[in-house]
């Protein structure tokens, strides 16, 4: 718990990090996999930058009990969430974002033809993420990834 006043709005934190020219690491695009780098870590949250070439995306995953938010800085990303036993897509363009709670499960993919950049904020910092398969309308655990080993 933050005893120094109200907790920051995570989407607002992501917006403050939306300029790659101000990042402590240079933006990169990796042709083989999504590039990511932690930009900052505080007492109660951490900030990550990700780049996505067309076709790159995540597996279906959660954030290990962390709440979060992400903002699309450039390009467009499709977020799919589970509803009614199916994945439901939502397109997020540059400047768009979303907040999510500690039980959120989603897939994020660059389905467009241009590269995309996004900023992600998690509270508390990520310790683990669970990857899932959606089978017969139900989430099935595929893997539990641990910080320091998997990323």
Q: Which tokens in the block code for residue 2?
A: 């933050």
Please, are residues 87 and 81 in contact by the beta-carbon 8 Å criterion?
Answer: yes
Classify residue 5: in a domain, yes or no: no
Classify residue 135: in a domain, yes or no: yes
What is the chain's mean pLDDT, rounded? Answer: 94
pLDDT tens digits for range 98-134: 999 999 999 999 999 999 999 999 999 999 999 999 9
**Order of strands across the sheet with 138-146?**
86-93, 76-83, 106-109, 60-61, 128-135, 138-146
3-state class (DSSP) for residue 19:
coil
Please, are residues 47 and 69 in contact by the beta-carbon 8 Å criterion?
Answer: no
Classify residue 64: in a domain, yes or no: yes
CATH number at residue 78: 2.60.120.10
Q: Record the pTM.
A: 0.92
Query: How many Å apart are CA 16 and CA 137, to the nearest integer?
Result: 38
Count: domains in the chain: 1
Please, are residues 125 and 39 in contact by the beta-carbon 8 Å criterion?
Answer: no
Q: Which residues of the chain have pLDDT under 50?
A: 1-3
């Amino acid at each position: 718990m933050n005893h120094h006043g109200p907790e920051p709005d995570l989407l607002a934190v992501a917006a403050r990090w939306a300029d790659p020219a101000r990042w402590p690491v240079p933006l990169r695009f990796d042709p083989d996999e999504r590039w990511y780098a932690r930009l900052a870590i505080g007492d109660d949250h951490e900030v990550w930058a990700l780049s996505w070439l067309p076709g790159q995306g995540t597996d279906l995953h959660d954030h290990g009990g962390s709440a979060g938010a992400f903002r699309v800085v450039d390009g467009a990303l499709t977020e799919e969430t589970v509803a009614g036993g199916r994945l439901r897509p939502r397109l997020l363009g540059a400047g768009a974002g979303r907040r999510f709670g500690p039980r959120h499960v989603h897939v994020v993919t660059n389905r467009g033809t241009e590269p995309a950049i996004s900023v992600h904020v998690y509270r508390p910092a990520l310790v683990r993420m669970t990857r899932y398969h959606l089978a017969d309308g139900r989430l099935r655990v595929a893997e539990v990834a641990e910080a320091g080993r998997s990323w």
